[in-house]
Structure 1
């Protein structure tokens, strides 16, 4: 597996972090314990190394980082970041990689019974989202990508995000080798979401273990990530599964897939739905089931990114697209865990409280 360019999530578990990165390796692990996850594959860290080597990007990285005299100088760091990312975007993908991606994407499309299946292209770094790490949310995810050429473009966006300003600054301040965490990329079936969000199996502020906190929004989480809406905030007792708090928020924007444009877009929510609760009791129960199963398996508090599919029916499982240790109150959790972007945003909502936004 170490020399492979493509690895399917079915063949991964937590031991695959060095090949597929933490996010995508965890998907394989979740599937093996019976959790419903999307279909997909990883473009491995070996592919990243090949791309960087054949494009001569090591020289560009060294050159532009050499211009940073002071890691506290925001302008210097951002200038280096932009220059490195431009070099990534302009470099050609080696034919052996593009062919491997094309063949795997066609196979995924066949599995999903779609000519050019829309996918989420997700960065998955090997050093990302350990409990003591500060990289959560710093790497790119591109939603609603359709067609192999657009997938390859999105892959380069994810590779380049390893040198985003925040990640670059963090490594400079902590004297971390910029080549120590190569970037794998997940190409994952996009679940057409009725609603989505994040669930914490422990209260992320108080640390109370008798309840879980759920954040929910219509469609995908992009409107939340962009700060366009505040998700509903729900607290559920873990023993009796009783809803302790349901705080609705007005949601004027929803993220959905536009087939004519081939990407996820933000549109105005119909007035009649803006103040409606995102989750009913059956949907809450399905989320609680998934989170408790994951927490029980790993034996530490977790936060979980979930999606309820557009045609979901009561009694069906939710789709889990990421899970990782809850980082505030779980200091003993393994460092090989997977992570996700929306959790960072959702945690900010929880931290400021349901009545503040």
Structure 2
């Protein structure tokens, strides 16, 4: 599991000690002042940030360690203030999805000015999307992921939680795609197993929704279906801590994100707000909801869900497409149980009277635009939430 891959506008470097490639990567950009962004836990709990600092040497100018789960607006504003103070010419984003999304938002706000809410994507059901322009040049971002989540591969500007509006904002992302992703096996191995496997389930959700999204395409199908195969094969083995297994799992997760350019669906949209409103880890929200959203969408995409069942290995020639789709949903549920992830929203502290708030916020989420069944009101969302409660 050592390779280098160059998709459009992005470089991926993967090895046991890929952090060693940072100096040459920064120099290749013509940069010399690197600001690390991370959360307080990773800074104090493991050696990944010190390894990055050591690799950067004299190129290192500071660390913004105020990243919080689900990327609240306030943390973006604090990061911009620090960036204005130390004047970096490159960001190094170290951590999981909240760190990578926060860094994108910092780069956007630093370049564009104003309020980060000015750059929130507007969605009007069933499929109208308005993306505010963000034309100003952004500082480049390099990332060192420490979870299986792959916000570092997203072309968008990420999700930022606005507690004032009671929802998660999807930020316009022109110019903030991470230039280089450093997949370091030793860095992944520092992360607790529950976080690794739950964030990988979040990527399984991307692969599955990519296959039955209305924006699907054959290239995405190839990557997404192979990602599903690899995740079912490798996720149960992650508990052994083998670095090759971790790198293979992370590669499968990356494939899911690289496949997803045709859009996602109801599960993604709902989980954004389960997490943003009630501080539920994104991967755990996906583990709870994914079997339910698969079953809800089945009658609109049974032939596509059969492909998913075949990738998992639970479809037989005698099954109808509908039966194969149900078997796929059951297999996802079973995998999450084997990984000891939560099964209900009640388990993760979502109050029953919060379901309506989640449904209302989800109706404004752009991921609904490519769901296989058009969603025009909160009724279908409440149906899924009640089933998962």
In the superposition, the TM-score normalised over structure 1's length comes to: 0.31
More strand by share: 1
More helix by share: 2
Structure with bigger RCO (C-alpha 8 Å, 6+ apart): 1
In the superposition, the TM-score normalised over structure 2's length comes to: 0.29
